[in-house]
Amino acid sequence: MRELGAGVTLLAIAVPLNIGYAQIAGLPPTAGLYALVVPAVVYALTVSSRQVVASPDAAAAALVASSLVGLAAAGAGDYATMALAQAILSGVMFLLAAVFKLGFLASFLSKPILVGFVGGLALDILVSQVAKMLGVSIDSGEEFVGKLVGLVTNLGDVDAWSVAIAVAAVAILLVGRRFARAVPWALVVLVLATVLVVVADLEDAGVDVLGEVPAGPPTLTWPVLDWTTWLVLVPSALALTMVTMAEGLLVARSYSERRGYPDRPNRNLFAFGLGNIAAGASGGFAIGASTSRTAAMDQTGSRTQLPTLVAAAGTLLLLVFGTALLADIPSPAIGAVVAVAIIPLLGVRELASLWRLDRFEFAVAAVCFLTTLFVGAISGIVVAFVLALVNLARRAARPALDVLASDGEPTRSLLDPAPSGGVTAPGVVVVRLAAPLFFANAASFAEAVKRAVTDAAEPVRHVVLDGEAVTDLDVTGAEAFEGLRRWLDEHGVTLSMSRIRPQVRRRFARFGLLEGVEVHPTNRAALAALSDAAMTAPDDEEDAHGRRHR
């Protein structure tokens, strides 16, 4: 019974939100309702997550609108048909990601990037919803600046009844959520507002309403477009896929860890793929993981996908028998429901936290936010990936690189060297690199080790590279290592390695870097061997080969 009750709650939450999200996407209300039927059932029957709810959300709806309006205006094809094709393309990309196990790509969208990107989309949506709440007409196909200008210039057309409905709706949503979170306040607001509009005949007074919603279940279809239009839709479908993938995998993992059941990311991607193809083939639009609805189901105690199936059945009944009930829903109430739902997506708290914790991460989020808002969603996702790579390279270029004490603890970082530094043992410096040795950090690694030798407080005769945390080696890293070895040899310093991983040792051997390099199982063994060598070395500063040491 608990799961059935959760399904009724999900239905009450999803119907008004999906109607609003369909309007954000520039699609008829039925597109949002159809997405709750076949796509939701297909997803629920194939996903590994027991709790994540799949449905259109605000960010996806805004991305659909921003990417298709220009194409439709340019005559690339019918808007609704392109939305179906976009969902199918996104579904195919999800399936490919599942087959080739590419879920790791979503990790490139770090939290600051997602906060900035989704925040920019949310603010763009908010302007449109505020216009609905004020009863002001603006061109929803405009970019953010155009919408904002339209809203400001048309403030003289504000409708008093629309404002009153919106204010009352927002108050009920905020107060109700604070004191009784289990109640589906969005549904309560729409029912009360609709009754008021009908009883007071407010449509004639200037309040905009949803209008007639065609009755009937979703039917199987297929978007017919020429191949060039399909190709043009690929970038936006890719952006939609990546954002949905990042959020979906993160939400699924967090709930699986919290509730103690296994998480299979690639199967989740497979389910998103089938769900989006089903959406495009049944008149809906792109679906993804709904964080708010998943949280609501978790709060009701639901631990299965049964609520999704119950909500799908309820939506189907509504489509067949109850669409007449939707015609008089006032647009200001829909705008209020959507506005309250997306306010958390603005990321104000997250941006404030980033400002306190890491200014660079804040800058990344801010650039994504502004690019998405003023240039567009597709540009925003491109900038997001570029910033992700820049951030990755920035961190990789400055790995943890320390001089170790004889007990194995780091004594100082070589990335911020003092004018002179200590050694691990008399004449010996043990250096630990906590990263793969590759193109991004190869040069800084070699230069830092050289500084450890030249800036040491006493002459250094031996350098030991602790390889425990070195996980890989590429060609550039191998060249830097070979150049460092030559430099050390010219300065009369031997090079040894310790605690190197077996697979990494094979990589070093493959590049011919272990010839003449002693490899020790532990740092203690390396220090003991070098100490023994020092005891047996000639007292004179010149060795048996006539080479003078420092």
Where do the structural domains in the chain lie, given as residue ranges? 2-392, 401-536
Question: How high is the pLDDT of residue 520?
Answer: 92
- Categorize the per-residue pLDDT at 550 as very low, low, confident or very high, splitting at 50, 70 and 90: very low
> So what's the pLDDT on residue 277?
97
For residue 547, name the pLDDT band (cuts at 50, 70, 90): very low
- Which helix (H) or strand (E) element contains residue 78? none
| pLDDT, average across residues 130-151 | 87
Angle subtended at Cα 17 by Cα 376 and Cα 300, rounded to the nearest 5 degrees = 125
Q: pLDDT confidence of 418, banded at 50, 70, 90?
A: low
CA contacts within 13 A on the Cβ side of 229: 20
Angle ∠(99,103,106) on CA atoms, nearest 5? 145
* Confidence at residue 141, expressed as pLDDT on a 0 to 100 scale: 67
Tokens (6 digits) for 182: 């289990």
424 or 93, which is more confident:
93
Q: Where is average pLDDT lowest: 101-110, 167-176, 263-272, 443-452? A: 101-110
- The torsion region of residue 301 among left (phi > 0), alpha (psi -120 to 50) and beta comes to left
pLDDT, tens digit, 9 for 90 and up, residues 241-279? 988 888 888 788 888 888 888 888 899 999 999 999 999
Tokens matching residue 86:
């976009």
- Count the neighbouring beta carbons within 10 Å of the beta carbon of residue 221: 12
pLDDT in tens, 451-469: 889 888 889 999 999 999 9
Tell whether the torsion through CA atoms of 62, 67, 73 and 75 is positive or negative.
Answer: negative
Q: Read off the pLDDT band of 209 (50, 70, 90).
A: very high
- DSSP 8-state code for residue 522: S
C-alpha Rg value of the chain to the nearest Å: 31
37 vs 182: which has the higher pLDDT: 37
Share of the chain above pLDDT 90, in %: 51
Q: Which of 63-67, 170-174, 529-533 has the highest mean pLDDT?
A: 170-174
Tell if the pTM clears 0.85, that is, is over it: no
Separation CA 416–CA 369 (nearest Å): 33
Question: Does residue 328 sit in helix, strand or coil?
Answer: coil
Sign of CA dihedral 224, 229, 233, 235: positive
Assess whether pLDDT exceeds 70 at residue 317: yes
- Mean pLDDT within 335-341: 89
Alpha-helical regions (H) of 402-516: 442-454, 475-490, 502-510
pLDDT-derived band at 539 (thresholds 50, 70, 90) equals: very low
| Of residues 229, 228, 271, the one with CA closest to residue 249 | 271
Q: Which residues pair with 497 in a beta bridge?
A: 465, 519
Lowest mean pLDDT among 70-74, 214-218, 387-391: 70-74
pLDDT of residue 508: 95
**Number of C-beta neighbours around residue 502 at 10 A:** 6
What confidence score (pLDDT) does residue 108 get? 67
Query: Please, what is the Cα angle at 131 between 127 and 134, to 5 degrees?
Result: 135
Q: For the segment 228-245, what is each residue's pLDDT rounded down to a tens digit?
A: 999 999 999 998 998 888
Query: CA-CA distances (angstroms) from residue 455 to 398, 414, 460, 494?
Result: 19, 10, 10, 17
Query: Which has more pLDDT, 395 or 7?
Result: 7
Question: Greater confidence, 331 or 544?
Answer: 331
Query: Given a cut of 80, is residue 168 above it in pLDDT?
Result: yes
286's CB contacts (< 8 A; 6+ apart) are: 56, 60, 64, 83, 86, 87, 90, 240, 244, 276, 279
Q: Which helix (H) or strand (E) holds 144?
A: helix 144-153
pLDDT at 10: 92
> In whole numbers, what is the pLDDT of the chain averaged over residues?
87
pLDDT tier at 420 (50, 70, 90 boundaries)? low
Residue 169's pLDDT is 94
Check: CB of residue 309 under 8 Å from CB of residue 41: yes
pLDDT of residue 398: 80
Cα-to-chain-centroid distance, residue 188: 33
Q: Are 81 and 224 in contact (CB under 8 A)?
A: yes
- Among 3-7, 257-261, 502-506, the range scoring the smallest mean pLDDT is 257-261
- Give which of 285, 292, 287 is closest to 268, Cα–Cα: 287
Q: If you count them, how many residues does the chain have?
A: 550
Q: What's residue 115's pLDDT?
A: 87
Cβ–Cβ < 8 Å for 482, 510: no
Buried/exposed 247-279: b ≥16 CB within 10 Å, e otherwise: bbbbbbeebbeeeeeebbbbbbbbbbbbbbbbb
Maximum Cα interatomic distance, the chain, rounded to a whole number of Å:
107
The predicted pLDDT at position 76 comes to 66
Say which DSSP state 519 is in.
E
**Among 364-373, 416-425, 461-470, where is mean pLDDT lowest?**
416-425
Q: How far apart, in whole angstroms, are the C-alpha atoms of residue 266 and residue 141?
A: 36
In this prediction, residues 343-360 reach a mean pLDDT of 90
Least confident of 57-66, 201-210, 373-382, 485-494: 373-382
Residue 125 above 80 pLDDT? yes
443 backbone dihedrals φ, ψ, rounded to 5°: -65, -45
Dist. CA 285–CA 303, nearest whole Å: 26
- Alpha carbon distance 194, 190 (integer Å): 6
How many whole angstroms separate alpha carbon 329 and alpha carbon 30? 14
Residue 299: count other Cβ atoms within 10 Å of its Cβ: 12
- 401-536 is classed CATH 3.30.750.24: yes
Q: 534 falls in which pLDDT band (50, 70, 90)?
A: low
Tell whether the model's pLDDT for residue 341 goes beyond 90: no
pLDDT value at position 546?
39
Cα separation of 50 and 256, whole Å?
8
The reported pLDDT for the residue numbered 131 is 93
Q: Please answer whether residues 436 and 471 qualify as being in contact, where contact means their C-beta atoms are separated by less than 8 angstroms.
A: yes
Where is mean pLDDT largest: 2-16, 85-99, 259-273, 294-308?
85-99
- The residue to which tokens 């699609």 are assigned: 27
Amino acid, single-letter form, for residue 303:
R
Tell me which residue has tokens 């000639």: 538
Helices (H), 221-358: 227-259, 265-280, 291-299, 306-321, 331-342, 348-357
Q: How far apart are CA 190 and CA 180, in angstroms?
A: 17
